[in-house]
Amino acid sequence: MSTPDLTISAEEYAARRAAVLEALVGAAGVVLAGSAISSPSLQSRWTADPMFRYLTGLDYEGSAAVLFDPSAEDPSRRITLFLSPRDIETERWDGTREPLDSAFKRGTGFTNVKRTPYLPGLLSEAARRTQRLACLHPFASYTADVSPDLEIFHKISQRIPGVAIEDRTQLLPSMRAVKSSAELALMERAVVATAAGFEACLRAIKPGMREKDLADLLVATYHSHDCEPAYELIVGAGLNGTILHYIDNSAAIAETDLVVMDCAASYRGYASDVTRTLPASGVFSAEQREIYQVVLEAELAGIAAARPGATYTDVDAAARAVIEKAGYGDAFIHGTSHPVGIEVHDITPDGPLKPGMVITVEPGIYLPERSFGVRIEDDILVTESGNRDLTSAVPKTVRAIEEAMRR
């Protein structure tokens, strides 16, 4: 399938970095890509920290960093990209890396690019001049390793007396949460592929198939739209549909099964996240229809609550009230919403919903004693006046699903 290419411009990435520098109000900060881990099994590819990708557009540069130094005398050196030195032997395994020339700078929007051996000295100099270091990476829980920038700042504070360490960990999550028009275009491209995948499954699903057959069909459809799966696909038939993160996708589908399909595409690093519950026979039983209608009513109530100024708690309460009123409160065992973006479960900033945020609304009822579950999930863009359902093209009413399966 040939479609126009979409991307985020170097100018937009540069504008994001400039906004961070301004928001730091004189403090120095650093965002790190993380250390590249080579997978000897070749089953997966390492990718950089989402904060680093959001600021640079660079996916695969291990040990890289962006330094924000408002104290640099030369304005062109107040934001610096650091990349690890080239290694000809490693490049024979992993591919040739670009030189740090003017073409690379134009392509990335950076005016100052250096190799990582320069980072410790330049970050220490920035700390000495500013006497303020701002933590941009999310803090870790006390059972986990210290966040990477805070770990570095502790070392600097032992060597440069008087340096203050500040909490600015909400800065990047707040920026990431509100999507630009370019980001929304990428997400909507992912939604097109997701809708095509579900359309293919609505035509193909039948008793006797295996869950994996549907998962494979989804992946093939995503690839035909130049997309990738946004996460491990969940295709759970019958009892497996009551397991929230079921990813075995190996069971046969029986005629009486409901199939919970939590499966969506990602385009150029931006995810969608959609769940539909389909009857293998093409028709919901009376019992299945009853539960499905409760979940659908709950989802619509949650979507209606997703407005500027509302909180995730408000959205959850609206959906949960419907399910509890129907007597299935104990069968709704997870939260209702999360942000979507560079990560399918994107980082959640503090505070209420704002225009430009994209969140899921995904209530569910899970009844293992009856061997079926129902979950319905859509991606909702919060707008100035309310919201817009980005994934409304995927059928979700009982009538729409049954008609699509008949066709």
- Same domain, yes or no, for 216 and 303? yes
The answer to whether residue 168 is domain-embedded is yes
Give pLDDT tens digits for 89-136: 988 888 899 899 999 999 999 999 999 999 999 999 999 999 999 999
Query: Is 4 inside a domain boundary?
Result: no
List, as one string, the DSSP characters of 71-113: T-SSGGGSEEEEEPPP-HHHHHHH-PPPPSSHHHHHHHT-S-E
Mean pLDDT taken over the chain: 95
* DSSP assignments along 243-264, one per residue: STT-----SBPPTT-EEEEE--
pLDDT, tens digit, 9 for 90 and up, residues 171-207: 999 999 999 999 999 999 999 999 999 999 999 999 9
Please determine, for residue 407, whether its predicted confidence score (pLDDT) is greater than 90.
Answer: no
Q: What is the pLDDT of residue 42?
A: 56
Of 176, 196, 222, the one marking the end of a domain is 176
End-to-end CA distance of the chain: 23
Is the domain of 400 the same as that of 278?
yes
Token pair of 215, please?
Answer: 């998962």
The string of pLDDT tens digits covering residues 332-352 is 999 999 999 999 999 999 999
Q: Give percent above pLDDT 70 in the chain.
A: 97
Say if residue 223 is in the same domain as residue 366. Answer: yes
Amino acid 51 reads: M
User: Could you give the percent of the chain with pLDDT greater than 90?
Assistant: 92
Confidence class of residue 37 from pLDDT cuts 50, 70 and 90?
low
CA angle 234, 406, 238 (to 5 degrees): 30
**Does 324 reside within a domain?**
yes
d(CA 21, CA 2): 39
Q: Where are the alpha helices (DSSP H) in 109-250?
A: 119-130, 148-157, 171-177, 181-204, 211-224
Say yes or no to pLDDT of 1 above 50.
no
To the nearest 10°, the Cα dihedral for 103, 104, 109, 113?
-120
State how far the Cα of 250 lies from the Cα of 120, in Å rounded to an integer: 50
71 and 129 in contact (C-beta within 8 Å)?
Answer: yes
**Who wins on pLDDT, 79 or 407?**
79
pLDDT at residue number 40:
53
pLDDT at 93: 85
Tell me the pLDDT band of 11, cut-offs 50, 70 and 90.
very high
Query: Is the Cβ–Cβ distance between 373 and 241 less than 8 Å?
Result: yes
Q: Is the pLDDT of residue 276 over 50?
A: yes
Cβ density class 343-358: b for 16+ within 10 Å, e for less: bbebbebeeebeebbb
Looking at residue 153, which CATH number applies to its domain? 3.40.350.10
Question: Could you tell me the residue range of the domain that residue 75 belongs to?
Answer: 10-176
**Same-domain check for residues 199 and 281:** yes
Q: What pLDDT, on the 0 to 100 scale, is given for residue 251?
A: 97
Residues 93 and 238 in one domain: no
Q: How far is Cα 4 from Cα 58, in angstroms, rounded to an integer? A: 21
Residue 357: HSE in the Cβ half-sphere, 13 Å Cα cutoff = 30
For residue 123, count other CB atoms closer than 10 A to its CB. Answer: 24
